[in-house]
Amino acid sequence: MKRAILVMFDSLNRHMLPPYGSDEIVAPNFARLAQRTLTLDNFYAGSMPCMPARRELHTGRYNFLHRSWGPLEPWDDSMPEMLKTAGVHTHLASDHQHYWEDGGATYHTRYSTWEFFRGQEGDPWKGRVGPLSDTQDALTGLYRQDVINRNHLQNEKDHPQHRTFDAGIDFVRSNADAAEPWFVQIETFDPHEPFFSYPQYADLYGSAAVTEPFDWPPYAKVTESSDRVAQARDAYKALVSMCDRSLGRVLDMMDELDLWSDTMLLVTTDHGYLLGEHGWWSKTIQPWFNELVHLPGFLWDPRSPRPGERSGDLTQTIDIAPTLLSFFDLDPASDMQGRPLSPAQASEHRDGVLFGGHGGHVNVTDGRYVYMRASASSSNEPLEDFTLMPTHMRSRFSVEELSDIELAAPFGFTKGVRPLKIPATSLINPHTFGSLLFDLESDPGQLNPLDDDGNELRMIDLLVRLMRESEAPASQFERLGVPMVGPASREHLAVRAQRGNAERAAERMPPLADFVAGRLNLGSSLPLLLADPRARQIVRERMPDVTRTELVEATEDVSLYDVAAMLATSIDVLRRLAAELAEIE
């Protein structure tokens, strides 16, 4: 009887794991996993971040060209639901709180059964009204809620990661002798920020065990000291070591119950996390560098055991759904773009894959070169959402957002349904960073962008071909300034023309103290500045993205300096802005 287990982490960095040549992290069970499975060396993300990646996990197709963060759509084919319909019991055990927000509300109900464990990040779990402590009362929003949650997670066995693996392992043990086929998805939010673990893991690393922890970096350029960066990296490593222990529990169970003979095991993540690389923290607000998209992947297929072997085939997260469906002898849905991760597919050469987030760079790699195509203009328009489920991460679309909607023509994958076409904004303006081309063979760290017209033209042709195959809307071709029909030509080159953008975006942020300051300054809160008519005019002229991006609207209690670190505002612009603010009486 066939069974399958998917172990899914969030924000797990491939380049820091032992199977991929790093000794940064104490992770013996990841090393053990690689000895038992096929290690995927050229495995890439597709649609990002969290919920777009999970929509891809269900549907086996890209969604970032058509939609920002959102639920499954009525026309989406869901792999767990297809399995359920075919008689395979599907079970989800997860602590990933985004499933239970507005923008993820249609995913968990596709499974036969599901369990959810509370307390990760700022999950609105435990209610606490009133003061917390002298050092914590200034905290608001997710940060305040996280402090409250941690007070209820004093022991590792109470931690949602531990309880998630408890539940997944219990499902397997309870159904190990069942006559019916089953699939279980054991999915933890870790090692996503905040990097909260326990002393036994922090003790493995130097600076994680400190009086004032730094385990929740901002979504911004790095402005912290090297010691502070090392502290955050160590906190991340400690949490990965905790994840490694949970993975070991799954491997122990596989050994104990002799599941290797008939049970597929797939272990992976949705994307990585920058810990100071390229001068950035986190993800989403900067280009999707290789640390974020080149993923760890491990596969055990009992039909064709390949313990300890490695595969250099170009593979992607869109392949997960077809892999699981084919294992249970089901054909992938006709709309799925992925292909099974099996030896039978090895002869089918894939010459490129797309990846990105809605409204950001549209990226393509052939496994050696990576091309990041930015928007043709600083407006980053036109940009549209195509949906019948108008929700953001934690909110419904506003009345204002819905005031200018229209019905679009059906796409091939919408099964004849006409989606809403809604004008959209983006968390990132890719024009700020320019179009970038890298050769991963000679420059694996993506430190030296190429200016190579021949390779850029070749990669543009690959990009537009894959966009056309994905039925990218016309607005995406227009936004990027690439041809919707026909081959690319020299007029479509962008790297050289946007080189200045890339250089300015790569500049390191000077400390706040380096800027001139008056009554109103870069350290002033954004609401305070926008409340002053003259300051508001200066900010909107110098930093127009402040009033355009969903990210800034969601973090309006931070300083203008912090916002500039998020948006990669040029240092020259910041100096002029600081000087003009200082002149206000």
Structure tokens at 212: 């004032």
Confidence of residue 138 (pLDDT cuts 50, 70, 90): confident
Tokens read off for 340: 């099974």
Task: Among 1-10, 135-144, 296-305, 432-441, name the one with the lowest average pLDDT.
Answer: 135-144
Q: Could you tell me what percent of the chain has a pLDDT over 90? A: 89
Buried b (16+ CB within 10 A) or exposed e, 130-141: eeeeeeeeeeee
Residue 348 confidence class, pLDDT cut points 50, 70, 90: low
Percent of the chain scoring above 70 in pLDDT: 96
The DSSP line for 325-343 is HHHTT-PPPTT------SG
- How deeply is 571 buried, as exposed, middle or buried, from its count of CB atoms within 10 A (0-12, 13-18, 19+)? middle
User: Which of the four pLDDT bands, split at 50, 70 and 90, describes residue 139?
Assistant: confident
Q: What 8-state DSSP symbol labels residue 507?
A: S
Per residue in 218-254, pLDDT (tens digit) is 999 999 999 999 999 999 999 999 999 999 999 999 9
Reply yes or no on whether the pLDDT at 499 is more than 80: yes
Amino acid 474: pLDDT: 98
What is each CA distance from 364 to 76, 350, 470, in whole angstroms? 24, 12, 13
The pLDDT assigned to 284 comes to 95
553 has a pLDDT exceeding 70:
no
What average pLDDT does the segment 287-296 reach? 98
Instruction: Identify the pLDDT of residue 140.
Output: 85
* pLDDT on residue 343: 65
Give the confidence band of 428 by pLDDT, cuts at 50, 70, 90. Answer: confident
C-alpha–C-alpha distance, residues 28 and 24, integer Å: 12
DSSP, collapsed to helix, strand or coil, labels residue 369 as strand
Range 20-27 contact pairs with CB under 8 angstroms and sequence separation of 24 or more: 20/296, 24/237, 25/237, 25/240, 25/241, 25/244, 26/204, 26/237, 26/241, 26/244, 27/240, 27/241, 27/244
- pLDDT recorded at residue 546: 75
Q: What is the 3-state secondary structure (H, E, C) of 197-219?
A: CCHHHHCCCCCCCCCCCCCCCCC
Instruction: Residue 70: name the closest of 91, 56, 87 by CA.
Output: 56
- Is residue 356 within 8 Å of 288, Cβ to Cβ? yes
Q: Are 387 and 422 in contact, with CB atoms under 8 Å apart?
A: yes
pLDDT, mean over the chain: 94
Confidence of residue 548 (pLDDT cuts 50, 70, 90): low
Please give the model's pTM, rounded to 2 decimal places: 0.96
| Tokens matching residue 80 | 């767990």
Cα–Cα nearest to 404, from 378, 426, 382 = 382
- Residue 437 pLDDT > 70, yes or no? yes
- Calculate mean pLDDT across residues 557-570: 89
- pLDDT for residue 210: 60
Please answer whether residues 407 and 419 qualify as being in contact, where contact means their C-beta atoms are separated by less than 8 angstroms.
Answer: yes
